[in-house]
Amino acid sequence: MRLIANTTQGLAYQRQQMVDPYLRHPTLVPPPRAKRLGSLLILLFLGIVWGLSFSLARMATESGIHPLMINYWSCLIGASLLSPYCLFTKQIPPITRSLIGFYFICALLGSVVPGTVYFYAAAHVSAGVLSITIATVPLLTFIAAAIFRIETLSYKRILGILCGISSIGLLVLPDSSLPDPKAAPWVIMMVLAAACYAAEGLVIATRAPPRVNVFVVVTVVLITAVIVMTPIVWLTGTFEVMPWPFSRSSWAILGMSVIMATAYGAFYYLIVLAGPVYASQTAYLITLSGVLWGILIYDETHSAWTWVSLAVMMIALTLVKPQEATHQGQRYQNKGKIPVTLPGTNGES
């Protein structure tokens, strides 16, 4: 997110974009060149840094810290890094009954549930395999978007979905695919975590508060995640203080928190800028860079089945990519086809 948010011009541009003119004028065509370049740069940034997070997640589990605590500290440190920004810019997060529901659902779908599963799986599955499973996010996002008629269904995209399913099958079905066949259930769990991320993306696209800086929203979501997880870690007896001096695992948690504070916010911004299906294409680059980071940091080696799975997943992502004609105006024209009561208990806005 430094590409846009950490400069004066970038902050001004970001604020202008969060007041989305296409909500008021859905027939407007967005400026193509600026939006394409900005979306592409954010996409590359997300792919590289989020790809690194898989190796950092594996590193965080090395010292035996409970996955709940890894997720808890990641959210807490991430919120602590972003809160000064909100205070410095004097931006107060909007709090209404419906937005409380929005923050709560985003915290569950984007941090609490998938994050905990993610760190459990990181202790059993290689960074490269983790990165392949996260590539199911755009496939699941498209399925949901097609159901709500945000995206159109085609034979090519159906083939892409089938390729994605086949890719996961190549990981979990052959006994020689994974170094430890007992890790196969964790691959399935990661697909369920990916479903949470896909659902969160659609919630953000349809219910994110207008005229609010994206980092303010991310801060509140992370704080909400911490509030939700605090009684859980106490009741389960998993709470522990970060060790000092920092161990290798502690530095990994800190690194993931920095990634969360920047990349997570950038992902929110990309959803607003280009839509949930386009934003979910970050999984394409995340998958490739995740495999490469695992090789560079851990000298990971993979079976032929895993490499075939990676290739099939790349084909799946290519087949299910957004149509050129799909732009922001079209998305908001279809907004009414999505249940607007999802984040709020009574559908209030």
- Residue by residue, DSSP assigns 95-112 as --HHHHHHHHHHHIIIII
Q: Give the pLDDT confidence of 148-188 residue by residue, as tens digits.
A: 777 777 888 889 889 999 999 999 888 888 888 888 899 99
Note whether residue 10 is domain-resident. Answer: no
Cis peptide before 174 (omega within 30 of 0): no
Q: Mean pLDDT, to the nearest integer, of 238-264?
A: 86
Note whether residue 300 is domain-resident. Answer: yes
- Give the alpha-carbon dihedral of 218, 5, 196, 154, to 10 degrees: 140
**Is the overall model pTM greater than 0.85, yes or no?**
no
Note whether residue 273 is domain-resident. Answer: yes
**Radius of gyration of the chain, Cα coordinates, nearest whole angstrom:** 19
Note whether residue 349 is domain-resident. Answer: no
Q: Could you tell me where the DSSP H helices lie in 32-172?
A: 32-60, 67-88, 97-107, 113-122, 127-133, 136-147, 155-172
**How many domains is the chain built from?**
1
Among 39-43, 56-60, 231-235, the range scoring the smallest mean pLDDT is: 39-43
Residues 6+ apart with CB under 8 A from 258: 78, 81
pLDDT > 50? residue 332: no
Q: Which domain holds residue 48?
A: 39-337
Q: Please give the share of the chain, as a percent, with pLDDT higher than 70.
A: 81
